[in-house]
Amino acid sequence: MKKIARPEPQVTWISPVGEGFQLEISATINGLLHQLVTVVADDQDESLWAQVSSGGTEVQIPLAVLRDALDAAVGQVHSESWYDEQLPTDGEA
């Protein structure tokens, strides 16, 4: 089974030298502060990107794609127990 952490997120505006103005979501997990996602702007066109670290690589996803995915998830993503409750009982089949 997966180990799940749901720490209290912290939203912070940051301005790393040479990297512009960014919005960072971080959280403390097991006593260590972790950057979860950073919203960054492209140097060329100011488009916004959600940046996450994966296997030592910074991965950027267009913020519009992430926003669309989050909007689509509402009402469509369900837990396994939700699906279990939707199954008909013996008397309903």
62 within a domain of the structure (yes/no): yes
40 within some domain: yes
Where does the pLDDT of residue 91 fall: very low under 50, low under 70, confident under 90, or very high at 90 and above? low
What is the predicted pLDDT for the residue at 19? Answer: 87
> Is 73 contained in some domain?
yes
- Whether residue 57 is contained in a domain is answered as yes
In a domain, 27, yes or no: yes
Give CA angle at 72 (2, 80), nearest 5°: 35
Residue 63 lies in a domain: yes
Per-residue pLDDT at 80 exceeds 70: yes
Separation CA 83–CA 19 (nearest Å): 45
pLDDT digits (tens, 9 = 90+) for 48-73: 999 999 999 999 999 999 999 999 99
- Tell me if 91 is assigned to some domain: no
47 C-beta neighbours (distance < 10 Å), count: 13
Residue-wise pLDDT tens digits, 3-44: 999 999 999 999 988 889 999 999 999 999 999 999 999 999
Element (H, E) at 40: strand 32-41
- Boundaries of domain holding 50: 10-77
Q: What is the pTM of this model?
A: 0.81
Domain count, the chain: 1
